[in-house]
């Protein structure tokens, strides 16, 4: 089964995540795209990440209307720091017949050599890097072992960030049309993000 894996903090999940996933699903003929909220992010965040149960619940709500999307608790239930290589290895041990496609933003490729076992990641999965038109993969100077497994997916990227959504909630501004209504209702019901300081915009 051709399976896309889209990991992230999803704090909160929003339409840019969903758009990239759907574009990858169609272009690469993926049978499903699995959204994987991280347990503990491997890179320190500049803000307090919301509890995993809230982030998973929002991901579940956002993906419910697409029969090709699903949300997975694999990193949350594994515990500890969420490394992509561990997730892919665990996934393939559970579903050895799956052909994996790891979906990410092209900007993340620049940091991939700092990830845990990047070569092993590329052995287990193809990499789909979403970028605006004109992106030059060669400009990142990645090792050939990584580049040969990367597919650049040029597309119009929605200028939406989780950081901006959190900041808008703190300011009392509308977040309608940035994330699904079900996610908005969840944020309001559980009063997420309200009592936290504003952040610098730096996150997808």
Q: pLDDT tier at 46 (50, 70, 90 boundaries)?
A: low
- For the stretch 96-100, contacts whose Cβ atoms lie closer than 8 Å and that sit 24 or more positions apart, written own/partner, are 97/1, 98/1, 98/2, 98/3, 99/1, 99/2, 99/3, 99/126, 100/3, 100/4, 100/5, 100/124, 100/125, 100/126
Distance CA 56, CA 73 (A): 7
Tens-digit pLDDT profile for residues 101-131: 999 998 888 888 889 999 999 999 999 999 9
Determine the CATH number of domain 2-159: 3.40.50.620
Output the pTM of the full model: 0.93
Tens-digit pLDDT profile for residues 25-37: 999 999 999 999 9
């Amino acid at each position: 089964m051709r399976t896309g894996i889209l990991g992230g903090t999803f704090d909160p999940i929003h339409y840019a995540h969903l758009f990239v996933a759907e574009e990858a699903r169609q272009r690469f003929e993926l049978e499903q795209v699995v959204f994987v909220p991280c347990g503990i992010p491997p890179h320190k965040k500049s803000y307090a990440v919301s509890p995993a149960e809230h982030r998973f619940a929002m991901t579940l709500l956002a993906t419910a209307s697409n029969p090709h999307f699903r949300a997975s608790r694999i990193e949350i239930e594994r515990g500890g720091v969420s490394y992509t290589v561990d997730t892919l290895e665990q996934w393939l041990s559970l579903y050895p017949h799956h052909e994996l496609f790891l979906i990410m933003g092209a900007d993340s490729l620049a940091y991939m050599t700092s990830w845990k076992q990047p070569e092993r990641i590329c052995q287990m999965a193809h990499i789909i890097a979403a970028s605006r038109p004109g992106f030059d993969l060669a400009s990142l100077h990645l090792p050939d072992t990584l580049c040969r497994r990367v597919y650049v997916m040029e597309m119009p990227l929605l200028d939406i960030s989780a950081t901006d959504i959190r900041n808008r909630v703190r300011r009392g501004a509308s977040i309608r049309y940035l994330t699904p209504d079900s996610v908005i209702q969840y944020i309001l019901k559980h009063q997420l993000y309200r009592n936290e300081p504003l952040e610098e915009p730096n996150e997808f």
